[in-house]
Homo-oligomer: A and B are copies of this chain.
Amino acid sequence: MTLDDLPTPCLVLDRGILQRNLDTMARALARHKVPLRPHLKTAKSIDVARMAITGQTGAITVSTLAEAEYFVGYRIHDILYAAGITPQKLERVVNLNRHGANVIVITDDRDMAAIIAAQNMPPRCLIEVDTGENRGGISAEGPELMDLAGRLGPALAGVMTHAGHSYSGRSVAEMAAIAETERAGITLAAGRLRAAGYKISIVSMGSSPTALHATHLDGVTEVRAGVYMFGDLFQVQILTHGLDDIAVTVLTSVIGRRPRESSILVDAGGLALSKDRSTAATPNDYGFGLALNLQGQFRYGHAIVDRAYQEHGVIMCDPAHPIDLPIGGKLRIAPNHTCMTVAAHDRYHVVDGSDDVIAIWPRVNGW
């Protein structure tokens, strides 16, 4: 089977590019001698997970309990569920752990900490620390840290943070500076807890930009990152990937042609691509995605999906590089934000540098 045989729209994953991205991240962290706990929120695939944990400790991060349950089914047991736990979700975690898993939860809430500690078999819990993203987490410096630790008691296993604001960095220097803020904040929290007598075995930080660009990671026990595996146009704009490092694209077919307007209509619209417009705030605005040829090569110039309807995408062609395809002709779209784009699809069609589809890898969507 080749790409030309596939019904569209669908996802194409280039295994060679994925492997290169995994190697780049592994090298970046090996410099600091810190292992990676890859975040599977983007890939949501056991096949990708197996590649990503190779050479690491075997631990992973997830963003949903559906992912946790799926990966436990494949005997990946050391799992950090990196979104604030609730009482109802705690029941699912306790159930997984009762059957041999080691799902670690996070909290930044004093009531929730008490509920975790009150379990018969409490999961290990990390305190979420805010190092500048201003989303979840408490201050590394304030009194809440000790209050939470006291409430968690023996369930306390460590601290974690996510410097998600690194995605607003636009230079390596900026991202390195944010990485150092992230590192300094989380190790400060760990140090305060240790000084108070708590055993802190996990000091976890990470985002793809800070993981790649940190200058040192002293005191950190693990790094989390996810989107680095696949890359996307936004990552290209913030200098963590090149255009050739985008591993996942959307295969699409021409369904209309307007040569007088230099536009074509394709069957990848807002559902197949997502409505994410993150490149709007970057030097190159790619609309809803960049058109590549069937082989995934940059041959159409600045041909972008200018408008995205539910099942229609309007590509405005680059006059210097017209797209001359018949109805049904296929091309590929590089996504703005791969996490959002892949979530609309239930599988990857895997290639390795050619048109041949060498495997189909399912994804676990939903919650």
The answer to whether the Cβ of A324 comes within 8 Å of any Cβ in the partner chain is: no
CA distance A367 to B347 in the complex (A): 12
| Closest B residue by C-beta to A64 | B311
Shortest CB distance A301–B (Å): 22
| Closest B residue by C-beta to A87 | B328
| Contact indicator B41/A311 (Cβ below 8 Å) | yes
Chain B residues within 8 Å of A239, by CB: none
Q: Mark A64-87, 1 if CB is under 8 A from B, else 0.
A: 110000000000000000011111
Shortest CB distance A104–B (Å): 16
Chain A interface secondary structure, helix, strand, loop or mixed? loop
The answer to whether the Cβ of A216 comes within 8 Å of any Cβ in the partner chain is: no
Q: Which of A268-286 contact B (CB under 8 A)?
A: 270-272, 274-277
Shortest CB distance A276–B (Å): 5
The answer to whether the Cβ of A125 comes within 8 Å of any Cβ in the partner chain is: no
| Contact indicator A310/B41 (Cβ below 8 Å) | yes
Contact among B10, B87, B267 with A327 in the assembled complex (CB-CB below 8 Å): B87
Contact among B63, B277, B344 with A311 in the assembled complex (CB-CB below 8 Å): B63
The answer to whether the Cβ of A223 comes within 8 Å of any Cβ in the partner chain is: no
CA distance A308 to B15 in the complex (A): 30
| Contact indicator B135/A83 (Cβ below 8 Å) | no
Shortest CB distance A115–B (Å): 8
Interface locus among A94-102, A106-114, A289-297: A106-114
CA distance A100 to B147 in the complex (A): 68
Interface locus among A187-195, A197-205, A250-258, A351-359: A250-258
| Closest B residue by C-beta to A328 | B86
Given contacts A135-B265, A310-B63, A327 and B86 within 8 Å (CB-CB)? yes
The answer to whether the Cβ of A143 comes within 8 Å of any Cβ in the partner chain is: no
Shortest CB distance A324–B (Å): 13
Q: Which of A101-157 contact B (CB under 8 A)?
A: 107-109, 111-112, 135-136
The answer to whether the Cβ of A56 comes within 8 Å of any Cβ in the partner chain is: no
| Contact indicator A111/B63 (Cβ below 8 Å) | no
Given contacts A135-B312, A253-B86, A7 and B367 within 8 Å (CB-CB)? yes
Contact among B307, B311, B326 with A111 in the assembled complex (CB-CB below 8 Å): B326
Contact among B8, B112, B340 with A367 in the assembled complex (CB-CB below 8 Å): B8
Q: Mark A305-320, 1 if CB is under 8 A from B, else 0.
A: 0010111101000000
Contact among B83, B135, B327 with A314 in the assembled complex (CB-CB below 8 Å): B135
The answer to whether the Cβ of A33 comes within 8 Å of any Cβ in the partner chain is: no
| Contact indicator A312/B86 (Cβ below 8 Å) | no
In the assembled complex, 16 residue pairs joining A and B whose CB atoms fall closer than 8 Å, in A order, are: A7-B92, A8-B367, A10-B367, A64-B311, A83-B255, A83-B267, A84-B255, A86-B254, A87-B327, A135-B307, A136-B255, A136-B256, A274-B274, A275-B275, A275-B277, A343-B344
- Taking beta carbons and an 8 Å cutoff, which residues of A are in contact with B? 7-10, 41, 63-65, 83-89, 92, 107-109, 111-112, 135-136, 164, 253-257, 265, 267, 270-272, 274-277, 307, 309-312, 314, 326-328, 337, 339-340, 343-346, 365-367
Q: A86-B327, A310-B339 are in contact. List 8 more A-B contacts (CB 8 A).
A: A7-B88, A8-B367, A86-B267, A89-B328, A109-B327, A112-B328, A270-B276, A346-B365
